[in-house]
Structure 1
Amino acid sequence: MDARLSASLLAGLVLLLHGFTAWAIVEVSMEDRVEVFKGDTAQMTCMFTSDDGIGALTIQWFYVLRTGEKQKIYYQDATMQVVDRATPFTDRIMVNVTAATGEVVLTITDVQLKDQLEFICLVKSLTDGVSEGRTKLLVFERPDFPTIEGVQTGIYVHEEMLSKIGSCEVKNGFPKPNITWYRNNAPLRASDVVKVMPSTTTESSGLFSVRSELSLKVMKEDKDAQFYCEVTYLVPGGTRMTETGRINITVYYPSTAVHVWVESPKGKIKEGDSIMFNCHGNGNTPSSVYVIRHKDNEYALESNMFVLENVTRLQSGHYECISMDMETYEELTGNTTVFVNYLDRAVVMPTVMEVAQGEKLTATCNALSSLQTHTAWFKENRKLSVGHTLMVEGATFDTAGIYRCVVTVPEIDGMETMATLRVNVKGAPEFMNPKHRVMEESVATTVDLSCHVRGFPAPSVIWTTSDGKVLKTTSQTEREDGVHSMVSVEVTSDLTAFCNASNEYGADAASFDIKAIVSTTAAATTISTSTLSSSTVVRTTAAATNTRISTLSASTVVRTTAAAINTRTSTLSASTVEAATYIPTKKIRKEGSGVIIAVIIICILLLAILGSVLYFLYKKGKICGRSGKRDLTKEKSSKDNIVVEMKSDNTEDAVLLGVNGEKLPPSNQ
């Protein structure tokens, strides 16, 4: 009984003690880590549970030093809130407590790398219940864009040691970035033929810079490989990756074969062309030397190209390209064949021919060539025939001249040769211009006479006059189609000049009849006027030459002759107008000098002025008879008409004209 009671009392005490302990305990929970970028704001939340009110709790924040010691930065109870002085967080922290939700939030502004520490949230109740939570603050910084640099020199595949390919570098990252090398999208891992050497530098800012060098055993296939670096780095909540640009390396490897070919000209080669050879091995070692050999001639190549200029047929044949590696002394050879086509100069047989008129002309033209040729004959750019033989039936003087034989190779543009044939047609002289010409020239002028005569042998030309005088030749030129001769003659009178041409086959002559023209001028002119009645006008023109005008009116006669016109003026009525115009009656030849025409025009103008002056004086009363009186020295006419008689030195019939110039009927003559 006692034992059971003791056990019951002990159990009740344990339960009582257990209930008291549960009432006094405070529970705190926090996240393991808080991640932020450098310079950002970090917030760490401390979650707590307690039966005591907020006024019965004490809240403290600590951070853990590198040595493991705790450093308090904040204290809060029911009466105060205190931020500890002289700590790295004094001016950058703020604490907010929310009793309803049981949250205590620590805020740190402008987070720096040195803030990457462990922080402690401690909550204590008045009944001595206490609990704490811990969280780590992680700080991140994105690195700069990575760079890559390849080696500038070429790499030989036969190198025994690993060759450096290039280096990659990424700067100012936190935490430390990681670099991975790739070749053609495949990552490179360290091995016997691959070596990656990373190195890390801590900058004064606390950030990390990472550099990595790649070396490997180079193979021929690496000449086309692309190398690059991949950089991975941490950020809040994950991982990021970036890549560098691609690089290539120069790989030197020996040739296993050599090839040579003609780069230009494309197609068939002819003499005079320039041949460009291209000589290449399938390797690319700079120590290789190339030589082109043809028969006993060798040509060193400064590059892989070689040019032979102005080639001839003698340079046809096999050409070898020899490649020698100066390090291994291995020699390789390639070859090609070249054929230089040719076309010899055309040969015309004969080159000069003399045939008589009416005979047949035959000539041949040939040119030796490596290809099929085409032959054509031309004369004065006109094609005559095609083929090696030229045949012309019935030669004439028109057959004479220069013939061209043109030989071409149709397969190759510009392959052409030419030769000429001179043909002379024998015969008596033949004039190209009219054999008889009539000319009219003014006296005292010099006339150039020329004649063009053909014939073979070239005719001899002599100029003579009708009286047997030999004229001095001004110029004489032999042309392909004959002789051109010229002489200058001074005209003093009518003459006839002869162009005399002759050779062993005959003679001929051309004549030039020159008519000498003497220039004539008008003589003095006098006007005689008598007894003009009122309202009478007399007009005499040059068209009335060799004309006599009479019996037009009573007692008034005006006489005009070719030598002179005499005018006697008396008793002019109030409205009488008198005018006389004279033109010399002698007919002027078309070939006459222009001076004669000018003199005639001047005479007409002077006569017109004289008539105007007389009319003006008549109107002003300066001439007798203006008052209306008649001149009694003349016989009074029964009519107020005027009779004008015009005479010339020739005895031609007279033409009667009325007052207004109309012809009178025969009854009035």
Structure 2
Amino acid sequence: MDSAAFLLLAFVNAVTLLQVWGTDNVTALYGEVIVIPCNGGAPAPADLMFVKWKYEKDDGTRGDLLIKQVSSVQATVQATDQYAQRVSIDANFSLLISQATLKDQKTFTCMVVSGSNLIEYPVSVLVYKIPSSVQIMDKSKVLQKDKPTMVGTCVAANANPATTFTWKKNGKPLLADGKAVVISSSIKLDPATGLSTTSSTLQYAASKEDFAAVFVCVSTHKLTNQEEELGPFPIYYPSEKVSLEIMSKGPIVEGDNVTLKCHADGNPPPSSFFFHIKGQKMPVVNSDNYTLTNISREAGGEYKCSLADNEKMEASQSIAVSYLDLSLTSSGKVVKALGDTFHVTIEKNASGDPEVSWTKNGKAMEGVKKLQFSKLTYADAGVYVCEVSMTSLTRRQSFELVVEGKPMITSLTKDRADDADSKVLTCEAEGVPEPNFQWSVNSTGVKSSHTNSKVTHKITVTPSVNLTVTCRVSNKLGEDTMTINVSSVFKEKTDKRDSQEDSEDQAKLIVGVVVGLLVAAAIVGLIYWLYMKNSRQGSWKTGEKELGTSEESTKLEDNNHAV
């Protein structure tokens, strides 16, 4: 009997001993090798004859795969269909199927034939396929307020079993209610591979508070879970309120440029408006402002703006224009006479109550609101500025007051010059216009100074005789004169010198007289001594004639008596 017949006989005889165990489950990965253990991988019986693998076809019939005899090294492949090139067996009698597909999801049976028994171990195979990708499709850029808007579609392609999806907003699950939350799911099978592509679409009716919301698509599979994030999204909604803003940092002043800005709370903000300017409707496109240039006082009043696509949505604001006019009854150069009465009237036109102040020659005139002079003096002359201010408005007007008067000499003095040979005459006068000076004498070293209405004029003279000098001042309004006596500087010198010489001569005369008297006394004494000597000798008694004449004798006697 050949081996095939023997096997067949053994198989037939063993039929009466057939046992079938419960079905086990094996999970395999798509495209990988399916490993199906025989009897859960338990050791084979000691009297094992052979192991045979078979499977159940789609039509319910049995299909043989391979047989492995204990006495044979190689297994014999019996399959003639798709498994012919894909099946093999390992040392533990586990069935190996390469390149797993979903068509391999069926029951495979391991039949163990021993000398004493025949047992079958069925195994059910499941083939899992992780999604090849999880993607967000049709992602929206914006959401609409109170209107279901596409958020996005989550797609998991080529999976087995099919992927399921859930949606979350800010970490919390979203439940479909058919109004604010609408979730649509679908599954498509690839007829060639049997793999499933699952998609889930979320529509959401947003509120204004959802501007920062983050949506998450969660894909769930037997072998893996993934999350894909969407958002945040801008929330679009129509305008519910319009406001008009006057773009001005302070009070509006006549002549300013004033910008009106129209604002609506819609998103995106409206780009077109109507500005209602004094009865005229001015369209503005791609802008939200309108500028009034060089605004006038007549432009004050109510202004409006509205949406270009909904004029019922409008807002209004009132504009008050500040203005200030100032004029004085005097301007430019004002000439008045000394002692005149002078009043300046302020004429102003303002939108409020302005403050008035005055300055004279740049210095504030404290407490002065009205400029009034009952009797003008030279000190009242100057440049006057009237300033009127209100809020951010200031106006100024000025004039120059000139007080004119006939010149008047206030003093005429004389002083000795530094060289002591000349005299300086100083004539001081007051008057406007500035007076001219004339002197009645020729002079040198003329000096003049002028301060406001006061004028000083100095001359230097060297008079050789006593003089009466006249200072004359004049302007277009009149003249004034004053005189002064000036003595000769030479006579003063001579008088002084003669007085000194007389004193010296008197001293010399006194000394000379004393010396002369002493000499005369000596001479007389000598003559007297000689006379007495001769008298003792008796010259007179002898009758001798004297040498002198009678006149000389007489003189001699007179001299003696004089002494």
Distance in 2, Cα, partners of 1:398 & 1:331: 70
Q: Which residue of 2 aligns with 1:349?
A: 329
Q: Is the 8 A contact 1:167 1:211 kept in 2?
A: no
> Is 1:177 matched with 2:170?
no
Q: Which residue of 2 aligns with 1:122?
A: 111
**Cα root mean square deviation, aligned:** 5.6
What is the Cα deviation at residue 233 of structure 1?
A: 3.0
Distance in 2, Cα, partners of 1:201 & 1:456: 118
Q: Which residue of 2 aligns with 1:95?
A: 90
Task: Work out which of the residue numbers 254, 260, 264 in structure 2 matches 1:277.
Answer: 260
SS state of the match for residue 47, structure 1?
Answer: helix
Structure 2 vs 1, CA of residues 325 and 132 (structure 1 numbering), >3 Å: closer, same or farther? Answer: same
Task: Work out which of the residue numbers 299, 307, 311 in structure 1 matches 2:291.
Answer: 307
Q: Which residue of 2 aligns with 1:31?
A: 24
SS state of the match for residue 235, structure 1?
Answer: coil
Q: After the TM superposition, which of the residue ranges 264-273 and 349-358 deviates more from structure 2?
A: 349-358
Q: Which residue of 2 aligns with 1:196?
A: 184
TM-score calculated relative to the size of structure 2: 0.57
Distance in 2, Cα, partners of 1:115 & 1:264: 76
Q: Which residue of 2 aligns with 1:422?
A: 400
Structure 2 vs 1, CA of residues 316 and 136 (structure 1 numbering), >3 Å: closer, same or farther? Answer: same
Task: Work out which of the residue numbers 318, 327, 332 in structure 2 matches 1:337.
Answer: 318
Deviation per residue, 1:564-607 (Å, 9 max, x gap): xxxxxxxxxxxxxxxxxxxxxxxxxxxxxxxxxxxxxxxxxxxx
Q: Is the 8 A contact 2:87 2:97 kept in 1?
A: yes
Distance in 1, Cα, partners of 2:406 & 2:88: 135
Q: Is the 8 A contact 1:29 1:48 kept in 2?
A: no
Q: Which residue of 2 aligns with 1:140?
A: 129
Distance in 2, Cα, partners of 1:418 & 1:27: 120
Distance in 2, Cα, partners of 1:89 & 1:456: 139
5 Å-filtered alignment, 1:33-48, equals 33-36=26-29, 43-47=35-39
Aligned partner letter, 2:120: S
Q: Which has the larger radius of gyration?
A: 2
Q: Is the 8 A contact 1:260 1:277 kept in 2?
A: no
Deviation per residue, 1:14-67 (Å, 9 max, x gap): xxxxxx99995666566323254x576765443369998335242334566666
SS state of the match for residue 371, structure 1?
Answer: coil
Q: After the TM superposition, which of the residue ranges 176-185 and 453-462 deviates more from structure 2?
A: 453-462
Aligned partner letter, 2:294: N
Distance in 1, Cα, partners of 2:279 & 2:43: 114
Q: Is the 8 A contact 2:276 2:303 kept in 1?
A: yes
What is the Cα deviation at residue 214 of structure 1?
A: 5.5
Distance in 1, Cα, partners of 2:253 & 2:57: 93
What is the Cα deviation at residue 261 of structure 1?
A: 2.6
Aligned partner letter, 2:225: R
Deviation per residue, 1:403-458 (Å, 9 max, x gap): 2222222xx3x42211112121324789xxxxx9x9xxxxxxxxxxxxxx997446
Distance in 2, Cα, partners of 1:380 & 1:284: 62
Q: Which residue of 1 aligns with 2:477?
A: 504
Contiguous gaps of at least 5 residues in structure 1: 1-19, 98-103, 431-435, 439-452, 469-478, 483-499, 509-669
TM-score calculated relative to the size of structure 1: 0.49
Task: Work out which of the residue numbers 209, 234, 248 in structure 1 matches 2:221.
Answer: 234
Task: Work out which of the residue numbers 49, 63, 66 in structure 2 matches 1:70.
Answer: 63
Q: Decide which structure has greater helix share.
A: 2
What is the Cα deviation at residue 134 of structure 1?
A: 0.9
Distance in 1, Cα, partners of 2:335 & 2:17: 150
Q: Which residue of 2 aligns with 1:611?
A: none
Structure 2 vs 1, CA of residues 284 and 233 (structure 1 numbering), >3 Å: closer, same or farther? Answer: closer
What is the Cα deviation at residue 358 of structure 1?
A: 7.4
Distance in 1, Cα, partners of 2:193 & 2:42: 44
Distance in 2, Cα, partners of 1:429 & 1:40: 131
Aligned partner letter, 1:178: T
Task: Work out which of the residue numbers 382, 396, 420 in structure 2 matches 1:401.
Answer: 382
SS state of the match for residue 385, structure 1?
Answer: coil
Aligned partner letter, 1:95: D
Deviation per residue, 1:222-277 (Å, 9 max, x gap): 986958462423133xx624233126476554x66x54432422553322333333
Distance in 2, Cα, partners of 1:360 & 1:314: 40
Q: Is the 8 A contact 1:96 1:106 kept in 2?
A: no
SS state of the match for residue 24, structure 2?
Answer: coil
Distance in 2, Cα, partners of 1:127 & 1:62: 21
Contiguous gaps of at least 5 residues in structure 2: 1-12, 409-413, 418-428, 445-449, 454-472, 482-563
Deviation per residue, 1:129-166 (Å, 9 max, x gap): 22122131322214434224345699798xxxx98625
Distance in 1, Cα, partners of 2:255 & 2:84: 92
Q: Is the 8 A contact 1:274 1:309 kept in 2?
A: yes
Percent identity of equivalent pairs: 18
Task: Work out which of the residue numbers 239, 247, 259 in structure 2 matches 1:264.
Answer: 247
Aligned partner letter, 1:133: P
Q: Which residue of 2 aligns with 1:614?
A: none
Structure 2 vs 1, CA of residues 228 and 48 (structure 1 numbering), >3 Å: closer, same or farther? Answer: closer
> Is 1:369 matched with 2:358?
no
Q: Which residue of 1 aligns with 2:469?
A: none
5 Å-filtered alignment, 1:424-439, equals 424-427=402-405
Q: Which residue of 2 aligns with 1:297?
A: 280
Aligned partner letter, 1:335: S
Distance in 1, Cα, partners of 2:451 & 2:196: 100
